[in-house]
Amino acid sequence: MKLSVLDQSPSSEGATQDVAIRESLALARLCDELGYHRYWVSEHHNSASIVGSAPEILMAAIAATARRIRVGSAGVMLPHYSALKVAEQFRVLEAIAPGRIDLGVGRAPGSDRLTAFALNPHANAADEFPQQVLELQSWVAGLALPDDHPFRLIAANPQGPTSPEIWILGSSDYGARLAAHFGLPYAFAYFFSDGAGVDEALALYRRNYRPSPRHPAPVATICVWALAADTDAEAQRLLATREYWRIGFEHGRRDPLVSPEKAAAHPYGVAELARIDELRRKAFAGTGRDVADRLRALADRLQLDEIVVNTWTFDPAARRRSYELLMKSARSGSVRSGSEP
């Protein structure tokens, strides 16, 4: 099982948001050295929690300095943009790091409705997502659009011998069906719902998959929130930060991450404490070996050979340590790093 990374550039209380972007660059360098297979960055808008608003720019900085890791978006929220412009951006990225660029695209806004409208005032943009994916496939791969397409004479430059790998991202049947229809890899956002619906989505994707020249067989992964620490007690302490954020998120807040101490001192209500207990039971948190073993068991159950790991901590050093511990377990035999055969 390969291990990959989803970095959402989380912002912590007491630090300015630009720090989170530089922490993303530092983490990418570390994960490249550790042997992770992919490094994906996300797109969110108008959030004080997740401040990576332009994945293509962050990817360029990472791709220009990383030695071997694949670099990608998870993802570009395509309805906000022109498919041609996205294709051009990722053709440039492919020129920076040939053979190492992933273009993950999603249909969700990654923001609230008003912000989505500010990004693209076209009210029905999300309805055009399948057509955008069709155009994106052609432009990214340097292939011709159908003869009757109004944009058939347009090419996305710069061209080259390699092209980005397109992924469809989702957390519902919609993304699974679309990825299967176009013969594209599919990534399920397991951490959105703590895995609810993952079995059905993957089964639907595999059952309806239509082979494509680049991907004759289905390719799937999931993104799991996980946290490793030197001891289980330390992992549970650090986990309090995400639990506090999750309760706030479910109440409509998008606040920066708070320290574990502030989270633990918060006066939660009875219902909130019950929700935290539920979150903690489902969380992939513990020592590196424990978390790695649980991820392998999940991968085996879902018949996956890759899992993407998303980790948040208040202190960026604890996040870096988490990824180090997971890869240490990989090298000791629990899971396989992306650099191994």
Q: Which domains does the chain show, CATH number per domain?
A: 2-233+285-331 (3.20.20.30)
Give the model's pLDDT for residue 123: 63
Measured distance CA(341)–CA(325) in Å, rounded: 21
Q: Which of 68, 146, 140, 70 is nearest to 105 (CA)?
A: 140
Give the model's pLDDT for residue 111: 83
Task: List, run by run, the mean pLDDT of 10-residue segments along the chain (341 residues).
Answer: 96 98 98 98 96 97 96 95 97 98 92 89 84 96 92 95 97 95 98 94 98 97 98 98 96 96 98 96 96 96 97 98 94 55 29
Measured distance CA(159)–CA(206) in Å, rounded: 32
With tokens 């986990």, the residue in question is: 239
Pair of tokens at residue 338: 């992306």
Give the model's pLDDT for residue 339: 40
DSSP assignment of 91-146: HHHHHHSTT-EEEEEESS-SS-HHHHHHH---TTGGGGHHHHHHHHHHHHHTPPPP
> Residue 270: which H helix or E strand, with range?
helix 270-282
Give the model's pLDDT for residue 122: 81
**What are 289-299's pLDDT values in tens digits?**
999 999 999 99
